[in-house]
Structure 1
Amino acid sequence: MALAIRDVREHDLDAVLALNNAAGRTILALDAGQLRYFYEHADYFRVAEIDGHIAGFLIALREGGGYASTNYQWFGERYAQFVYIDRIVIANAYRRHGLGRIFYCDATSYAEVRAPLLTCEVFLEPRDDKVLLFHGTYGFQEVGQQRMGEEGPQVSLLAKELPSYPYVRETYLERDGLPDVSWLAERPRPTHNNDKRRLAGERRP
């Protein structure tokens, strides 16, 4: 079994959309336009490819964007810098093989050189203790709760401190920026949506 975690490509979007909308009640459904928004704006959007098949994906965004999610906005109102995991989906055929942890390790590697916090939410309605345990054992702690809209589910808002970030900030970001190596690069996005604030190596306050 050959596994690759790579940036999403435009021709992957139909498969990603189908995978998202087959995931069940704990993942909000998307339409093609919403998925296109992530393709054009998400800072982290990677897929797991196994033997040529899309086995899962993870989407994350940094602070300061225009994403309309109430959970993303909750973190934006309270924290100056963070990477927010909007969703992770693993295809049924590939669950219970550790892909979730592989994705979270990869997302952490991306986040820890860019922000002090990795954030996300988990649904409490319906409650899934396996999901709560997964996040707890990965170092996330609850920092709040809210209801998603008047009739939406209650969610637990989670954050994980990234202890490597202060070193990276002081050693690289406040000096000459991140080294020019492939694993630190930003994902390619359509050129008309390039955001120069996001470029790896830029000095940040």
Structure 2
Amino acid sequence: MTDLASVSAGEEAALLALNNEHAVELSWLDAARLRHLLGQAFHVRRAGNVAAFLLAFDQDADYDSPNYLWFRERYPRFVYVDRIVVAAAMRKRGLANRLYEDLFRAARVAGHEQVVCEVNSDPPNPASDAFHAALGFVEVGHASIHGGAKTVRYLARSLLPAP
């Protein structure tokens, strides 16, 4: 089983490469921007030798993403998954599920009641839609961003026990 671990400074180049291989789904980053995001993160974990990673912020991050700001305008407290990616050769091994479960635990420990994210609807990302639905995320809104170049669905998952 691939271990989950914190990201070290020596792994930033590998994170950047994996991110930018999937820039259509995630958004392209340069090294300085990645370093800033890592410094603002509520939670960042990698699987294996950067076979996958997840980067999340809470409501207090210094982050200017229109998607993050959409949540900050509507929710007083949350954990926002900014990006999660699994290398193509490492898919179908449960890494994304493990990264999310690890995040859910950390968010609960910190007293958060919900985890939020967005998924592209145009261009569509049906694999991400199905994955997030299976984890219990539900749609809470949508928006057109970047001058209409992209449309997203906003999703949330409660961390509270079911009544």
TM-score range, shorter chain: over 0.9
Aligned pair 1:77/2:76, yes or no? no
What one-letter code is carried by the residue in structure 2 that aligns with 1:82?
A: F
C-alpha separation between the residues in 2 aligned to 1:40 and 1:24?
20
Structure 1 range deviating more: 10-19 or 62-71? 62-71
Q: Take 2:125 and 2:33, find their aligned partners in 1: how far apart are those partners?
A: 26
**1:26 paired residue number:** 25
Larger Rg: 1
- Residues 1:157 and 2:150 aligned together: no
* Structure 1 residues 48-104: Cα deviation after superposition (integer angstroms, max 9, x where no partner): 11xxx2201100000022200111111111111000000001111101111111111
CA RMSD of the aligned region, Å? 1.2
Whether 2:104 is the aligned partner of 1:108: answer yes
Residue 132 of structure 1: which of 129, 133, 141 is its match?
129
C-alpha separation in 2, matches of 1:93 and 1:151: 32
Find the aligned partners of 1:92 and 1:78 in 2 and give their Cα distance: 34
Runs of 4 or more consecutive aligned structure 1 residues displaced over 3 Å after TM superposition: none
Point out the structure with the larger helix share: 2
**Residue identity opposite 2:155 in structure 1:** L
Which secondary structure state, in structure 2, belongs to the residue aligned with residue 142 of structure 1?
A: strand
Within the candidate set 84, 87, 93, 1:91 is matched to 87
Give the deviation of 1:127 after TM superposition: 1.2
Q: Which amino acid aligns with 2:18?
A: L
- Percent of pairs identical after alignment? 37
The correspondence of residues 159-178 of structure 1 with structure 2, limited to 5 A, is 159-164=156-161
Q: Which runs of 5+ in 2 are unaligned?
A: none
Determine the C-alpha separation between the residues in 2 that align with 1:70 and 1:101. Answer: 26
Output the CA distance in 1 between the equivalents of 2:23 and 2:33: 18
CA distance in 2, matches of 1:134, 1:36: 28
- Does structure 1 retain, via aligned residues, the 8 Å contact 2:41–2:61? no
Which ranges of structure 1 fall in alignment gaps of 5 or more residues? 165-205
Question: What TM-score does the superposition give when structure 2 sets the normalisation length?
Answer: 0.93
How many residue pairs align between the two structures? 160
Q: Name the structure with the higher strand share.
A: 2
Cα deviation, residue 39, structure 1: 2.0
User: Residue 146 of structure 2: SS of its match in structure 1?
Assistant: coil
TM-score (normalizing by structure 1): 0.75
Q: State the alpha-carbon separation in 1 of the partners of residues 13 and 61 from structure 2.
A: 24
Supply the distance in 1 between the matched residues of 2:82 and 2:8 (Cα, whole angstroms): 18
Q: Which secondary structure does the structure 2 equivalent of 1:127 belong to?
A: coil
